[in-house]
Amino acid sequence: MLLRLLASLTRQKKAAAPAAPAPPRLALDPARRNVLDVGGGHRDNALPPHYAAWQRLMLDVDPNAQPDVLLDARELRRLPAAQFDAVYCSHNLEHYHEHEVGRVLAGFAHVLKSPAGFVEIRVPDIHAVAQEITGRGRDMGDTLYTSPAGPIRVVDILYGYSRAIEQTGVDFYAHKTGFTRRSLRLALEAAGFGQAYFLAPLGVYEIRTVALRAAPGALHRELFGIGPQSEAL
């Protein structure tokens, strides 16, 4: 009787399983280079000027952001492979748990064209914040700098912008992991990005890198000035 009951429940579960959703459609212009802006949040959040002539497709999990691609970055493998010249990911990677970071980075590799496709990543610099705590006696509530949104404290960089989390109740705004240059490099290498270069930060307390799966070429030298003397991440 028990075996028949279990078999019946198994059949019911199989019958009730929903069909897999269709992959999102990508409206790409074949005449232009394109960049996938992962977790862009809002179209007013401008990309760096070296993408000015590129087609930007914004990916976000929040429908209120009105993204071109409504998708969780952990599900990037649902997109067609090798579609993008670049992935731009600014202050988004720290919003995933440590064990999910590899999945997100593997998704970047999946959507990038080969061999020249690259990912540009910006994340908070946890080592720099730790130096503020241990070297300068900063405490969790101390302000490190002031942004357009207001004062940014030690706790905001480590764990996410507290004011936004409180006002929205959205847990995704919390930081679930953090990076030093070394830990980010190791995560990129594990995802197949064997070449990662340190770039001058565009913000404070920030790590910025460009990572590739092959040796840099003319495009990377043009955009980032990568050369024989470039500093590895």
71-115: per-residue pLDDT in tens?
999 999 999 999 999 999 999 999 999 999 999 999 999 999 999
More reliable by pLDDT, 208 or 42 = 208
Q: Is the pLDDT of residue 16 over 70?
A: no
| Least confident among 39-43, 109-113, 198-202, 219-223 | 39-43
| 3 — pLDDT class (breaks 50, 70, 90) | very low
Domains recognised in the chain with CATH numbers: 31-125+176-224 (3.40.50.150)
Q: Give the mean pLDDT of the chain.
A: 90
Strand 34-38, strand 55-60: pairing? parallel
Q: Is the pLDDT of residue 197 over 90?
A: yes
Distance CA 185, CA 211 (A): 9
Q: Tell me what percent of the residues of the chain surpass a pLDDT of 70.
A: 90
Residue 49 sits at φ, ψ, to 5 deg, of -60, -20
C-alpha triplet 141, 142, 146: angle, nearest 5°: 115
Q: What are phi and psi of 143, to 5 degrees?
A: -80, 130
Say whether pLDDT at 14 is over 60.
no
- pLDDT digit string (tens) for 44-68? 889 999 999 999 999 999 998 899 9
Furthest CA-CA distance within the chain: 73
Whether 196 and 189 have beta carbons less than 8 Å apart is answered as yes
Which residue's structure tokens are 């070296």?
50
Residues forming beta bridges with residue 38, ordered by sequence position: 59
Work out the average pLDDT over 206-228: 96
pLDDT (average), residues 144-148: 94
Per-position DSSP letters for 71-130, written without gaps between them: --GGGGGGSPSS-BSEEEEES-GGGS-HHHHHHHHHHHHHHB-TTT-EEEEEEEBHHHHH
pLDDT (mean) for 175-195:
98
The answer to whether residue 119 scores a pLDDT higher than 50 is: yes
pTM of the model: 0.89
Share of the chain above pLDDT 90, in %: 79
In the predicted model, what is the mean pLDDT of residues 122-131? 98
List Cβ neighbours of 33 (8 Å cut-off, separation of 6 or more).
53, 54, 55, 85, 86
Q: What number of other Cβ atoms are within 10 A of residue 25's Cβ? A: 10
